[in-house]
Amino acid sequence: MENIGVRQPTKAELEILRVLWQEGEATVKTINTKLNEHKRVGYTTTLKIMQVMTDKKMLERKIQGRSHLYRPVFKKEEVQGLLVDRLLESAFGGSAKNLVMQALGNRHTSKQELAEIKAFLAEIEKES
Protein backbone atom coordinates (compact mmCIF):
# COMPACT_ATOMS: atom_id res chain seq x y z
CA MET A 1 0.00 0.00 0.00
CA GLU A 2 3.03 2.27 0.24
CA ASN A 3 2.85 3.14 -3.49
CA ILE A 4 -0.57 4.68 -3.04
CA GLY A 5 0.37 6.08 0.38
CA VAL A 6 2.71 8.61 -1.21
CA ARG A 7 0.15 9.90 -3.68
CA GLN A 8 -3.41 9.97 -2.45
CA PRO A 9 -5.90 9.31 -5.27
CA THR A 10 -7.56 12.42 -6.69
CA LYS A 11 -11.33 12.67 -7.07
CA ALA A 12 -11.04 11.77 -10.78
CA GLU A 13 -8.81 8.79 -9.96
CA LEU A 14 -11.30 7.58 -7.35
CA GLU A 15 -14.11 7.75 -9.91
CA ILE A 16 -12.07 5.52 -12.23
CA LEU A 17 -11.19 3.17 -9.38
CA ARG A 18 -14.89 2.84 -8.47
CA VAL A 19 -15.68 1.70 -12.00
CA LEU A 20 -12.79 -0.76 -12.01
CA TRP A 21 -13.71 -2.19 -8.60
CA GLN A 22 -17.15 -2.85 -10.02
CA GLU A 23 -15.96 -4.21 -13.38
CA GLY A 24 -12.79 -5.99 -12.28
CA GLU A 25 -10.93 -4.96 -15.42
CA ALA A 26 -11.95 -2.82 -18.36
CA THR A 27 -10.81 -0.82 -21.37
CA VAL A 28 -10.57 2.97 -21.39
CA LYS A 29 -13.66 3.04 -23.61
CA THR A 30 -15.72 1.04 -21.12
CA ILE A 31 -14.58 3.19 -18.20
CA ASN A 32 -15.21 6.39 -20.11
CA THR A 33 -18.73 5.21 -21.02
CA LYS A 34 -19.47 4.44 -17.35
CA LEU A 35 -18.10 7.82 -16.22
CA ASN A 36 -20.28 9.58 -18.79
CA GLU A 37 -23.40 8.11 -17.19
CA HIS A 38 -22.93 10.69 -14.41
CA LYS A 39 -21.03 13.57 -16.00
CA ARG A 40 -19.42 14.50 -19.29
CA VAL A 41 -15.81 13.29 -19.48
CA GLY A 42 -13.78 13.22 -22.67
CA TYR A 43 -12.16 9.97 -23.79
CA THR A 44 -8.68 11.51 -23.96
CA THR A 45 -9.10 12.91 -20.45
CA THR A 46 -9.98 9.45 -19.13
CA LEU A 47 -7.06 7.93 -21.05
CA LYS A 48 -4.58 10.48 -19.68
CA ILE A 49 -5.74 10.02 -16.08
CA MET A 50 -5.46 6.26 -16.44
CA GLN A 51 -1.95 6.56 -17.89
CA VAL A 52 -0.94 8.67 -14.89
CA MET A 53 -2.57 6.12 -12.55
CA THR A 54 -0.57 3.37 -14.25
CA ASP A 55 2.64 5.39 -13.76
CA LYS A 56 1.68 5.83 -10.07
CA LYS A 57 1.23 2.04 -9.88
CA MET A 58 -2.44 2.38 -8.99
CA LEU A 59 -3.46 0.46 -12.13
CA GLU A 60 -2.01 -2.43 -14.07
CA ARG A 61 -2.37 -2.62 -17.84
CA LYS A 62 -2.30 -5.67 -20.06
CA ILE A 63 -2.58 -5.83 -23.82
CA GLN A 64 -5.33 -8.01 -25.21
CA GLY A 65 -5.39 -7.87 -28.98
CA ARG A 66 -5.64 -4.22 -29.94
CA SER A 67 -7.14 -3.25 -26.59
CA HIS A 68 -5.52 -2.38 -23.30
CA LEU A 69 -7.25 -3.80 -20.24
CA TYR A 70 -6.77 -2.00 -16.94
CA ARG A 71 -7.31 -3.33 -13.45
CA PRO A 72 -6.80 -1.78 -10.02
CA VAL A 73 -3.69 -2.75 -8.08
CA PHE A 74 -5.32 -2.15 -4.69
CA LYS A 75 -8.57 -3.47 -3.29
CA LYS A 76 -11.38 -1.07 -2.55
CA GLU A 77 -11.06 -1.68 1.20
CA GLU A 78 -7.33 -0.83 1.15
CA VAL A 79 -7.91 2.53 -0.52
CA GLN A 80 -10.91 3.34 1.66
CA GLY A 81 -8.86 2.48 4.75
CA LEU A 82 -6.06 4.80 3.62
CA LEU A 83 -8.48 7.65 2.94
CA VAL A 84 -10.28 7.22 6.26
CA ASP A 85 -6.99 7.05 8.17
CA ARG A 86 -5.80 10.27 6.52
CA LEU A 87 -9.13 12.02 7.16
CA LEU A 88 -9.18 10.77 10.75
CA GLU A 89 -5.72 12.19 11.43
CA SER A 90 -5.98 15.44 9.47
CA ALA A 91 -9.53 16.56 10.23
CA PHE A 92 -10.40 14.81 13.50
CA GLY A 93 -7.08 14.69 15.34
CA GLY A 94 -7.18 10.89 15.39
CA SER A 95 -10.56 10.72 17.16
CA ALA A 96 -12.68 7.94 15.66
CA LYS A 97 -15.57 9.03 17.89
CA ASN A 98 -15.60 12.55 16.42
CA LEU A 99 -15.42 11.18 12.88
CA VAL A 100 -18.35 8.81 13.46
CA MET A 101 -20.42 11.44 15.26
CA GLN A 102 -19.86 13.90 12.42
CA ALA A 103 -20.68 11.31 9.76
CA LEU A 104 -23.88 10.20 11.48
CA GLY A 105 -24.93 13.78 12.26
CA ASN A 106 -24.48 15.12 8.73
CA ARG A 107 -26.64 12.65 6.84
CA HIS A 108 -29.84 10.71 7.31
CA THR A 109 -28.96 7.22 8.50
CA SER A 110 -31.55 4.55 7.77
CA LYS A 111 -32.77 2.12 10.42
CA GLN A 112 -31.07 -0.66 8.46
CA GLU A 113 -27.74 1.17 8.52
CA LEU A 114 -28.08 1.92 12.24
CA ALA A 115 -28.80 -1.76 12.94
CA GLU A 116 -25.67 -2.74 10.99
CA ILE A 117 -23.59 -0.15 12.86
CA LYS A 118 -24.91 -1.41 16.21
CA ALA A 119 -24.08 -5.01 15.26
CA PHE A 120 -20.60 -3.95 14.19
CA LEU A 121 -20.03 -2.08 17.46
CA ALA A 122 -21.27 -5.08 19.46
CA GLU A 123 -18.78 -7.29 17.59
CA ILE A 124 -15.94 -4.87 18.33
CA GLU A 125 -16.91 -4.77 22.01
CA LYS A 126 -16.83 -8.58 22.17
CA GLU A 127 -13.28 -8.59 20.77
CA SER A 128 -12.04 -6.00 23.31
Domains identified in the chain and CATH numbers: 2-72 (1.10.10.10), 76-127 (no CATH)
Residue type, 90: S
- The Cα angle at residue 67 between residues 61 and 68, in degrees rounded to 5: 10
**Which amino acid, 63?**
I
Query: Alpha helices, DSSP H only, in the chain?
Result: 2-6, 11-23, 28-35, 43-55, 76-92, 96-106, 111-127
pLDDT given at position 54: 96
3-state secondary structure of 60: strand
For the question of whether the overall pTM of this predicted structure is more than 0.85, the answer is no
How confident is the chain (128 residues) per 10-residue block, as mean pLDDT? 62 97 97 97 97 95 94 93 91 92 87 92 90
pLDDT for 2: 46
- Whether 74 and 1 have beta carbons less than 8 Å apart is answered as yes
The predicted structure's pLDDT at residue 99? 92
H/E element holding 100? helix 96-106
In sequence order, the 6+-apart residues with CB closer than 8 A to the CB of 4 are 56, 57, 58, 73, 74, 78, 79, 82
